[in-house]
Chain A
Amino acid sequence: QVQLVESGGGVVQPGRSLRLSCAASGFTFSSFGIHWVRQAPGKGLEWVAVISYGGDEKYYANSVKGRFTISRDNSKNTLYLQINSLRAEDTAVYYCAKVAYIYDTRIPNFDYWGQGTLVTVSS
């Protein structure tokens, strides 16, 4: 069955960096775009970034552009999110979500989600 498992979250000081991972299984990882979506405590869902199935297309929300970098290693079935210069407002649960259509990147039909990993930015 399809599984997405995020890891890498934790408590981090402002200004530091963190790399989140999303390990995928149960489907042909290299054929689907994958998104990162975050949710601050008690708040709604916020789209963060997406990477195409081959890794050549990447798009970011304006709120994270320049600080976040999305990447993937299709040989390891793993998605990454490098977060630099962490701010208090980056505190959130970070989810990876798979698109439903093969070879698609940006259509937001997220048919599978991970359980999320919590990032807390605090001194």
Chain B
Amino acid sequence: QSALTQPRSVSGSPGQSVTISCTGTSSDVGGYDYVSWCQQYPGKAPKLMIFDVTKRPSGVPDRFSGSKSGNTAFLTISGLQAEDEADYYCCSYEGRYTGVIFGEGTKLTVL
């Protein structure tokens, strides 16, 4: 039950785009369209940004988008803003053991 693989950190300048990857297996990310992404500021609770791979909850800017290819899901943030600097976690349904598996987390730095 290892965590989904995410890059430890990514960075970008204001206005640029960044993409965060989330790699799993055919038993989780690749097997179901149930990948979500959460944003977390230090000391705060996570916030849902993307669910079901590509859907955005109401109130989340359309600068945030999700996609998937094979066993890897992606979160793309376009038009980077200073307030996007946070930790991002992917999460997937896992059909074999636990039912839910999180990614390791990625720290986004806005330069």
Indicate whether A and B interact.
Answer: yes
Question: Which residues of A are interface residues toward B (Cβ below 8 A)?
Answer: 35, 37, 44-47, 50, 59-63, 95, 97, 100, 106-111, 113-116
Q: Which residues 10-59 of B have a CB within 8 angstroms of A? A: 34, 36, 38, 40, 45-48, 51-52, 57
> Once bound together, how far apart are the Cα atoms of A4 and B47, in whole Å?
13
Q: Which of B36, B47, B97, B103 contacts A44 (CB 8 A)?
A: B103
> Once bound together, how far apart are the Cα atoms of A45 and B98, in whole Å?
14
Provide the residues of chain A in CB contact with B99, threshold 8 Å: 47, 50, 59, 106
Q: Interface size of B by Cβ–Cβ distance < 8 Å?
A: 26
Question: Which residues of B are interface residues toward A (Cβ below 8 A)?
Answer: 1, 3, 34, 36, 38, 40, 45-48, 51-52, 57, 89, 91-93, 97-105
> Once bound together, how far apart are the Cα atoms of A109 and B101, in whole Å?
12
> Once bound together, how far apart are the Cα atoms of A45 and B3, in whole Å?
10
Provide the residues of chain B in CB contact with A59, threshold 8 Å: 98-99
* Contact yes or no, A107 B34, CB < 8 A: yes
The answer to whether A111 and B57 touch (CB under 8 A), given A47-B100, A47-B102, is yes
Q: Nearest Cβ distance between residue B51 and chain A, in whole angstroms?
A: 4
Provide the residues of chain A in CB contact with B105, threshold 8 Å: 44-45
